[in-house]
Amino acid sequence: MSHVKGYVRTTKQGKLAFVHSFENKHQPQVVGPNKGKKIAQAKELVADIARELNDHLATKNPDKEKTAHLKIEIAQAKGALDSLLGLGTGRGRTPVKHVIKPKAPNPGMLKIRDTVTELLRTEGGRKEFIEKIKSGAFAKSLPEVLNLYGVEQGEHHPLPDAFDHTMELFKHLPAGASDNVLWGTLLHDIGKAETQYLHPTRGVVFDNHEFRGFQMVKKVLNRLGFDKADATEIAFLVKHHGDLRVRLLKTTSTHEADKFINHPHFDALMKVHQADVKASGRDPKEVITRHADLKETLPIRTDLLKVAKDLHVDDHEMELFEDGTIALHLQKKSLIDKDNVHPKVRAAIDAALKTHKLTDKYEVEIDDDNDSWVSVYFDLADLTPGR
């Protein structure tokens, strides 16, 4: 038998021809009259080469080159069989996606999930849940929640125990909060048990516990049999429950903030965030006000962004300041005409602001540090008198 490129092996049912894929970049091609017969031939060939390889390896001093060739041959034969069975791509074939079906959830876990959901809906149920957690009743189904019990949060926190803090949040949720909000609240801080450390100046800290919790929560939700849509929402609440101040307050730019508040799960996130802040002894007013300002000014800011499009600017940025000032920054050299703002800029702004009755209530300035930038400013109070 030859072991060179282009060899032909013979089976009881006919011939199979192969070309070395690693040299010619081709998948093995099976020669035969029909697919059913080809599959039978390919299966027999795989078994034939496997037997030959095993027999060769069983000899006293198996030849290394022959062993390598046999391994190549069996890999090619398996590749041909996979192609015929629709498990591989093969030359000229459309790739077949492998769909891994998720493991069916344990019926016992589904029952526990439903039991916990029911307990979380009422104050009396939550008291019962606390007793069960502390007695170890959910040690196998919710070890991540049990592990919060006894995790010290430091003197700065009104509730030094992380589990007590978690359960305190439920007192600050609005009536009728969705089940996903309840679960997002229960699991929002599970990352704290794995990120706690004592900082030399800041005391007990849990840096990046939100992201660690997000990594952990996928396993929890899968264990309890949550469907994809619910699991996605709950995981979003865990991952972003500490993000709102950074995303809404730490920058005046509105682009990323707008994308964030328009997320389909943002309203649920606001519920968890406000409850978390209140349970931590703080006031969520700043975030609430910023959110309201962004929503209130969205129509006018949307129209203002049309100015950037109409003027074909090279770059632009929108800002909303804490004092209620809205600014649109536009960059393009042609917007400046002899140290003055070109009339086309005011014309485009007036057209955008016409429906808002603000055509005479804005200022346009040229940037002192960069004369290719023009900025438009107006006060939110002009949009909402009495603000």
Q: What is the pLDDT of residues 282-293, one digit of tens each?
A: 999 999 999 998
| Residue at which a domain ends, from 283, 314, 329 | 283
CATH code, 342: 3.30.70
Give residue 10's pLDDT band: very low, low, confident or very high (50, 70, 90).
Answer: very low
CA atoms within 13 A on the CB side of 253: 10
| Residue at which a domain ends, from 218, 250, 283 | 283
CB 93 within 8 A of CB 106: no
**What is the average pLDDT across 257-271?**
94
> pTM of the entire structure?
0.68
pLDDT on residue 83: 66
pLDDT on residue 359: 62
- Its domain, for residue 304, covers 291-383
What are the tokens at 387? 């603000």
The SS3 call for residue 379 is strand
Tokens 């919710």 -> residue: 142
What are the tokens at 119? 């307990």
Give residue-wise pLDDT tens across range 94-150. 444 445 455 677 889 999 999 999 999 999 999 999 999 989 889 999 999 999 998
| Residue at which a domain ends, from 239, 260, 283 | 283
Give residue-wise pLDDT tens across range 31-51. 444 666 677 777 788 788 888
Please give the residue that has the higher pLDDT: either 53 or 312.
312
Same domain assignment for residues 352 and 370: yes
Same domain assignment for residues 279 and 135: yes
**What is the average pLDDT across 51-70?**
77
Cα(184)–Cα(188) distance, rounded to whole angstroms? 6
pLDDT on residue 86: 59
Same domain assignment for residues 195 and 329: no
β-bridge mates for residue 15, sequence order: 10
